[in-house]
Amino acid sequence: DQQVKQNSPSLSVQEGRISILNCDYTNSMFDYFLWYKKYPAEGPTFLISISSIKDKNEDGRFTVFLNKSAKHLSLHIVPSQPGDSAVYFCAASPKTSYDKVIFGPGTSLSVIP
Amino acid sequence: EAGVAQSPRYKIIEKRQSVAFWCNPISGHATLYWYQQILGQGPKLLIQFQNNGVVDDSQLPKDRFSAERLKGVDSTLKIQPAKLEDSAVYLCASSLATGGWHEQYFGPGTRLTVT
């Protein structure tokens, strides 16, 4: 039972263009949403988050959008850089237990110079 | 600030053998997590400690997996006996506290191959 879904296993984008990574969730109890980034042979690192009371959160080149009615969120990276090439995990936590993070399967992003 | 340390980085064992992984969290972090990441999947929580007490071990296969955090700092995760399906990366993470959202900091992981 996959509660957090990332239906695109991989994505290729030209340097300088926008990267859009999508994520869907099924559990209506999820209240806090996160994106983690993972380079090979390293652990995931936190990138950006959004609370369910917001629909957008921006941090530099990274913006996360949340559509609660559709149970959908997306991560936009503008402009994309070769150093952004990594696996991106979408994750979510329920209000009752914010430290219970449920991860999606990840999307591998390749930014082509 | 030193990050989360894990060892070994890689381990290859035969099925039915035992293996142990070690984790040293970021200094001062009360909460420690062990995750299992199977190839092509996201990390899945196995066990969560708050100081030296277990907060959640509901997804830990207790017939073969065990974990401890005796002094509330370092932790070990053991598998005995290992099965082929235990091949995965085992990630340790730590955070300042529990309750409310606190960023989890991950170590580099231990890649286990069971043959």
**pLDDT digits 0-9 by tens, A43-102:** 999 999 999 999 999 999 999 999 999 999 999 999 999 999 999 999 999 988 888 899
- Which residue, among A68, A62, A30, A31, has the nearest Cα to A46 in the 3D structure? A62
- Which residue, among B85, B77, B89, has the nearest Cα to B114 in the 3D structure? B85
**pLDDT digits 0-9 by tens, A19-44:** 999 999 999 999 999 999 999 999 99
A35 at the B interface (CB within 8 A)?
no
Any idea what DSSP says for residue A3?
S
- Give the DSSP H/E element, type plus range, for residue A11: strand A10-14
Q: Measure CA A80 to chain center.
A: 15
Tell me if B56 and A100 make a contact (CB, 8 A cut-off).
yes
The burial of B107, by beta-carbon neighbours within 10 Å (0-12 exposed, 13-18 middle, 19 or more buried), is given as buried
Tell me if B108 and A41 make a contact (CB, 8 A cut-off).
yes
Tell me if A98 and B99 make a contact (CB, 8 A cut-off).
yes
A33: nearest CA partner in chain B = B101
